[in-house]
Structure 1
Amino acid sequence: MIKLNNWAQLSVVLLLWACAPQPEKVTTTISGEIINPIGDVITFRLGGDRITDTLDADNKFSTTFDITTPVDIVFGHGGEITYLYLRPGDQLYLTLDPAEFDESLTYSGKGAEINNYKAAMVLLGDSLLSTRDLYKMPEDQFLVALDSVSAIELGYMADFNIDDAAFIAYTRENSKWSDIVTKMRYESAHRSLLDLDSFSVSDTYYDFQLALDVNDTSLLKYPAFRSYVDESIEKEASRGYYARADESEDYSGFYVEAINALIQVPSLKEQLMYEFVSDSYSYFPVEVRDEIVAAWKGLNPDPERVDEIDQMIAEFQKLEPGNPAPDFRYVSIDGDTLTMADFKGKLVYIDVWATWCGPCIAEHPHMEKLQQRFEGQDVAFVAVSTDSSPDPWRKMVNERKLGGIHLYAPGAWQSTIITDYLIQGIPRFILIDREGNIIDANAARPSGDIGDQLEALLKSA
């Protein structure tokens, strides 16, 4: 027997490896065309990673992904999102019109069957019993109806000739977790929708949660499991918040406590804290912002994430009280072009909203009372719509005879007022002083104590 020295052995291994057939590297692409786009930005989210791409001059794009297993990808444009299922080697082509995002979404190319099924499921959900109607049912009827709706949705795969065994298994597991989240929300939703403050579910209702593990990271590939994680944290945070002894304590602190109490896996805890800081920083009370960011940085995040958040915070610092308010130039519902300079000498209370935003609409009656309270005084009430089209904005303002100055911001979620004021959610209210400087870039709502603040500012002038 001839023995090879180490280098000879390595040479033979390398030769055999080179001669052996290697796994073929496949290209996985999502491309497409956006008809009547809102800005030129499209986004993809894979787990905790966010990818941004831009449309070309023909409103088309092509984005390549390096994946080795099937993944769910969140595609976003113009403030709307949809979920895609992408397998290695797929060459997916999508078309959509943001004005009718879900209704216009179609796919072609490799991977189209599965994603056309997913798009159809969104529309099917609108035609089935709504979640709102489910939540109004008595407990026993709710559970039966939920099972029935889920069975219909899963059975719909046959109509699209879906024969991918892995996708079918994936969809069934994701559906299971979706039902779990729906069950978790039932008690509070039923109580709220029917105005039943004393309503409670049966003693054994939550037994379905006993065997569930919020720290099972192997299940994070299912979006509905991630929703289960989020729902578990929100429920824990809400319990602490509503039981608080000090009314001045903010919800954000209880949310961080809930993450620490429930999540034991360091990587998952860091991911959740990163998303909380990234998505909600503007809502943190100023006095706890540094504390929450420091808590996240203590979890050893990736340096690139630290740089990203530090840059975001630097941008937010431009919106601190006393700094000049970012200007805008928008057309009013009366056809006039207005900028911040047109309001100099007055306090300016800005409402950033959209007709599709329920919480925005809920503030309208309070805004009307606020306008009546300060009628004839040096306060300008300016409402800026971020609708994707001006048509629903004009219709609602005119039909409801909404008071104040109404402006339309082209670009929806990419409009300048959204990007300049780093708005992460609406409604957003902004208070500007008589000289055009920021008083509060995240001011109280009309339903809150903004009236008293305006009164004090007018008296101090």
Structure 2
Amino acid sequence: MNKPLLYVFILAFVTSCGTEIKKSPNVFFAGEILNPTSEYVVLYKDEVVIDSAKLTDDNRFSIQLKSAAEGLYHFDHQPELQYVYLEQGDSLMIRLNTEDFDESLIFSGRGKEINNFLLELFLSTEEEIPTIYSYSHLDPSAFAHKIDSLRQLRTTILDVLSKEVKLSDNAVTMAQTSIDYNYYTYKEKYPFWNRRVSGSNSIPKLDKDFYSYRKNVDYNLDELAYHRYYYNFLKTHFDNLAYMGCADNCQGQHFEIVEDKLHFNQHKLKLIDSLVTSKSIRDNLFRSVALYYLINVHDTEENIKEFISDFHKYSSNNKHISEIEAIYEGVKNMQPNKKLPQVLVYDNGENKISLREIAEKEENAVFYFWSGTQKQHFKNIIKRVNELEKLNPQYTFIGINCNTEMMRWQSMLITNNLDLDYQFRTDDFENLKYTLVIGGLNKGIITKNGLIVDAYADLYRSF
């Protein structure tokens, strides 16, 4: 986001009528959703559902709370979500178009100022990531100067807003935390970005002040356990600590650290256990490490078993344990030469059929996945499948749609001239995701006579 736009943003707040005093303990949250992708809007505090509302015929909703703890919430309109900051007395309205969910979102009404600030911060930081990455070729002091300047610019905007609009202390703290941890994350990533762009085999030498902010990091801020920037910082920070710890005390060489995924992720588990005491934050961080390892590493069964043993040792009462166990079972069942699981999907006639049965009908098959709500991905994946069918005529490509309503799914099949005999759908993507260990929709599963050849193929890299 360029500076002129930032200052237009400041002026918009300065001229707003945001000094209205909040009197009622009630909170009113309502709005309009264009091109809805679900019938409901669900309001969450952390992982707990606070309330929900069904869209009316004109795509509007309203939620009224008799009282609400001040803080960060998020609203969910499947498959998208966004944060909202609520205080007693708020009468907050939103308007958005699901075809451009975040960019079209507008807050109005009492409470709009802090929410538009947080939204603008989110959009601008998403926009600036390529620019930040382009700075990573700089030496550490020059990179730090760039990051500190951007952080100060955002802080100045917040200072202007808080002087012109009556914001609560908690709202200002939340906004400042969003700014700080977002830019701290860039510094955690810098050594690895720099090594990548420079082509070096080692990370750059950092001066003693580069990570000076770390002395103020609190690993146990329960109120920020589900805060986007705080949580992302912690994940990146523990990646960094584990790498540096291995470089100093374990294998030592970059390629050895990168290749030994089991050891690296075990190291992260140990660090989290030693530094984090908050139950909620521990659970979430342990879950993050486990999900990454199980879904992305594709290690041997022996190594996976050892990792899960360590996971239970450090986090035996993790609230996400059932999810981790479900994925672990999925990983064990998706090994080469095993039969595809008996997970059920629907064909075009709404008949149930198992993926195993579908796979056993084809000598060589590739299962791929798409969603009706991710239109650009759908276009890209269909284009890619068409290319692969020409390049690899020995394979039958079979599409599995994830959670698109039947009539819309059928319409998309006909509109895009897809072969109805090789298209199926699920209305239970959670079960499909865990059973087949789906980490992203570019995934492909290659089978031969119903047996798994490669459960973790990538449609853009594996052919």
Common fold: TM-score over 0.5? yes
Q: Is 1:31 the equivalent of 2:30?
A: yes
Kept in 1, the 8 Å contact 2:366–2:446? The answer is yes
Residue 229 of structure 2: aligned partner? 224
* Aligned residue identity for 2:181: W
- Return the offset for 1:92: 2.4
Residue 234 of structure 1: aligned partner? 239
Residue 270 of structure 1: aligned partner? 283
Q: Larger deviation: 291-300 or 175-184?
A: 291-300
Kept in 2, the 8 Å contact 1:237–1:255? The answer is yes
* Aligned residue identity for 1:153: R
Q: How far apart in 2 are the matches of 1:419 and 1:270? A: 19
Out of 183, 187, 199, the residue aligned to residue 195 of structure 1 is: 199
Cα distance, 1:119–1:177 mapped onto 2, change above 3 Å: closer
Kept in 2, the 8 Å contact 1:181–1:227? The answer is yes
Q: Is 1:164 the equivalent of 2:167?
A: yes
TM-score (norm 2): 0.64
- Return the offset for 1:164: 0.5
Q: Secondary structure at the match of 1:211?
A: helix
Cα distance, 1:152–1:247 mapped onto 2, change above 3 Å: closer
Kept in 1, the 8 Å contact 2:399–2:424? The answer is no
Residue 250 of structure 2: aligned partner? none
Q: Larger deviation: 134-143 or 153-162?
A: 153-162
Q: Is 1:425 the equivalent of 2:430?
A: no
Q: How far apart in 2 are the matches of 1:185 and 1:125? A: 15
Cα distance, 1:269–1:124 mapped onto 2, change above 3 Å: closer
Residue 132 of structure 1: aligned partner? 133
- Summarize deviations over 1:61-104 as a string: whole Å, max 9, x none: 44566875422223344444432212234232222112111221
Kept in 1, the 8 Å contact 2:26–2:90? The answer is yes
Cα distance, 1:294–1:346 mapped onto 2, change above 3 Å: same
Q: How far apart in 1 are the matches of 2:103 and 2:75? A: 15
Residue 114 of structure 1: aligned partner? 114
* Aligned residue identity for 2:149: S
* Aligned residue identity for 2:119: A
Counterparts of residues 280-359 of structure 1 (less than 5 Å): 282-283=295-296, 288=304, 292=308, 295-296=311-312, 299=315, 301=317, 321-322=338-339, 323-327=341-345, 329=347, 344-352=361-369
- Summarize deviations over 1:183-213 as a string: whole Å, max 9, x none: 1111211222443444504332534155244
- Return the offset for 1:105: 0.3
Residue 6 of structure 1: aligned partner? none
* Aligned residue identity for 1:113: E
Counterparts of residues 17-28 of structure 1 (less than 5 Å): 26-28=25-27
- Summarize deviations over 1:230-278 as a string: whole Å, max 9, x none: 2222224445595459857476544433423443455542343345557
Residue 102 of structure 2: aligned partner? 102
- Return the offset for 1:146: 1.9
Out of 216, 234, 257, the residue aligned to residue 270 of structure 2 is: 257
Residue 251 of structure 2: aligned partner? none
Kept in 1, the 8 Å contact 2:92–2:108? The answer is yes
Kept in 2, the 8 Å contact 1:371–1:381? The answer is no
Residue 150 of structure 2: aligned partner? 149
Q: How far apart in 2 are the matches of 1:89 and 1:204? A: 47
Kept in 2, the 8 Å contact 1:386–1:415? The answer is no
Q: Secondary structure at the match of 1:184?
A: helix
Cα distance, 1:282–1:127 mapped onto 2, change above 3 Å: closer
Cα distance, 1:214–1:349 mapped onto 2, change above 3 Å: farther
Kept in 1, the 8 Å contact 2:369–2:443? The answer is yes
* Aligned residue identity for 2:93: Y
Cα distance, 1:307–1:88 mapped onto 2, change above 3 Å: farther
Residue 401 of structure 1: aligned partner? none
Q: How many residues matched?
A: 402
Q: Secondary structure at the match of 2:286?
A: helix
- Return the offset for 1:311: 7.4
Q: How far apart in 2 are the matches of 1:281 and 1:55? A: 36
Q: Secondary structure at the match of 1:352?
A: strand
Cα distance, 1:33–1:235 mapped onto 2, change above 3 Å: same
Residue 82 of structure 1: aligned partner? 82
Q: How far apart in 1 are the matches of 2:316 and 2:358? A: 45
Kept in 1, the 8 Å contact 2:334–2:452? The answer is no
Kept in 2, the 8 Å contact 1:273–1:296? The answer is no
Kept in 2, the 8 Å contact 1:370–1:446? The answer is no
Larger-gyration structure (1/2): 1
Kept in 2, the 8 Å contact 1:78–1:411? The answer is no
Cα distance, 1:440–1:200 mapped onto 2, change above 3 Å: same
* Structure 1: unaligned runs, 5 residues or longer: 1-23, 331-338, 398-403, 452-461
Cα distance, 1:410–1:351 mapped onto 2, change above 3 Å: closer
